[in-house]
Amino acid sequence: MDHTNLWYGHAHAFAEYCGLDSAAPPPIRGVIQHGWTFVHGLGYGHYNDPSFTKLVWSEISRRRGQVIGWRDFVVTGAPFAYLDRVRPREDVERTGTIWYPFHGTKDYETVSGAHDELVREIQRTEDGPVTVCLYYVEYDDPTIRQYYRDAGFRVICHGRRGAQWKGADRYFLARQLAELRRHRRVCSNRLTTAVMYGAAIGCEPGIYGDPMQFVGGKAGFVGDGLLEALYPQFFTPHVEDVAEVREIARAEIGMDRVMGPDELRYLLGWDDPWLPSSN
């Protein structure tokens, strides 16, 4: 199946929800939106077999895809929303802030900026314990990691994304869910998937600090200036109306689009009841 379906444990989360073996999710006849974006959710230059359904998180992603000529979308909601349903919640009091510095990738774009200045900004703004979650690209850089450790922050990484069907950490999303559930705030220097996830499940979001340079971003996928216009409520260290941004985040993640296990299985191509050789 499309290798991006394995990123962050998305296919695995769907398999768990459907009662299948999450260690070996069956091939999906489609491509899952792998992150929250302001474009269509499927990344630059993403080309799939024409028979693959585009499994997007939100109605907004579907609409944005339609205007550029794409069809065959199904709004499933994010795999994160499904994992949130199946994983039991622990009764813990939310404390502190989990901070996600904007990240690059090893194979596409990179992020360049002053992490030490960002650390100082975080220290000025946050008044409780801070967990900094670095993407594996930044986490693997000891210099970057040390900036945050030296500041006394708890520094973690949710796991590796993987590439070309290898190295994907299927527990990534589960770790992220667990961390977001136990923190009171979720912050970043850009509006990102993690902020949307956290806001959707009860974190107070905040966007502040140097957004840094997004090096190698493709035309139309950078969004500087546009995100501040589209989602002004998020771009502040402390949002005024937490309930409002929570509703926005829930719509962006598709929390209200979660399907039942049977319906999801049929849509993903995991069950064609009329075929004897159904996968």
Partner 1 sequence: MGRPVAAIVELSYPDNVTLLQGAMQNWRDLPAKGPAGSAAVERLLDGLEVSGHVLVVGPHPASMIMGLAQRAERLSVVTRAIPDAAEIGTAVPSATVWCGSLTAAAERLEPADVVVALADAALLLSTEEPVADWSSFPQLLHRLAAPGARVLMAIENERGMHRQNVGADLFVRDTDADWTPFATWDQTRPRRTEALPGLDGWPGVQFSAVLPTWETPAVLLDGAATVEDRALAMAYAAGDRRASALTVRSVGLADLALEQAAGWIVRVGVPSPGAVVTPVGPVEGQAPTTGPVQTHFLQAAADHDMPAMRALLRFWWEWLQEKAVDGVVPTGYADARLSNLVAEGGTLRPLRPGDTDLPVDRAAWLALADVMGVITSQGLTHPWPTAMNPQTRFAALLAMAEIPVPDDLGPYAEPQEPTDLSRDALLAVIRRQQNELRIVWSRFHWDEKQYAAYRASKFSRRVVRYAQRNGKQLPAKAKRLPQTLPATAKKLPAKAKKRLGG
Binding region for partner 1 (CB under 8 A): 18-21, 24, 26, 29, 38-39, 44-51, 60, 62-64, 66-72, 218-226, 228-232, 265, 270-271, 273, 276-279
Instruction: Tell whether the torsion through CA atoms of 28, 164, 146 and 121 is positive or negative.
Output: negative
Looking at the Cβ atoms of 45 and 142, the one nearer to partner 1 is 45
In the complex, what is the shortest distance from the CB of residue 45 to partner 1, in angstroms, rounded to a whole number?
6
Looking at the Cβ atoms of 142 and 273, the one nearer to partner 1 is 273
HSE-up of residue 150 (Cα within 13 Å, Cβ side): 12
Looking at the Cβ atoms of 18 and 118, the one nearer to partner 1 is 18
Looking at the Cβ atoms of 152 and 220, the one nearer to partner 1 is 220
Residues 52, 2 contacting (CB under 8 angstroms): yes
In the complex, what is the shortest distance from the CB of residue 104 to partner 1, in angstroms, rounded to a whole number?
20
In the complex, what is the shortest distance from the CB of residue 246 to partner 1, in angstroms, rounded to a whole number?
16
Amino acid at 12: H
Angstrom CA distances, 249 to 62, 126, 181, stand at 16, 22, 15
In the complex, what is the shortest distance from the CB of residue 84 to partner 1, in angstroms, rounded to a whole number?
23
DSSP state of 51: T
**Cα–Cα distance between 167 and 279 in angstroms, integer?**
24
Angstrom CA distances, 40 to 2, 28, 88, 197, 258, stand at 17, 19, 31, 17, 19
In the complex, what is the shortest distance from the CB of residue 26 to partner 1, in angstroms, rounded to a whole number?
5
Closest CA to 70 of 57, 55, 82: 55
**Cα–Cα distance between 186 and 270 in angstroms, integer?**
35
Backbone angles phi, psi at 193, to 5 degrees: -55, -45
In the complex, what is the shortest distance from the CB of residue 277 to partner 1, in angstroms, rounded to a whole number?
5
Looking at the Cβ atoms of 64 and 185, the one nearer to partner 1 is 64
Looking at the Cβ atoms of 39 and 178, the one nearer to partner 1 is 39
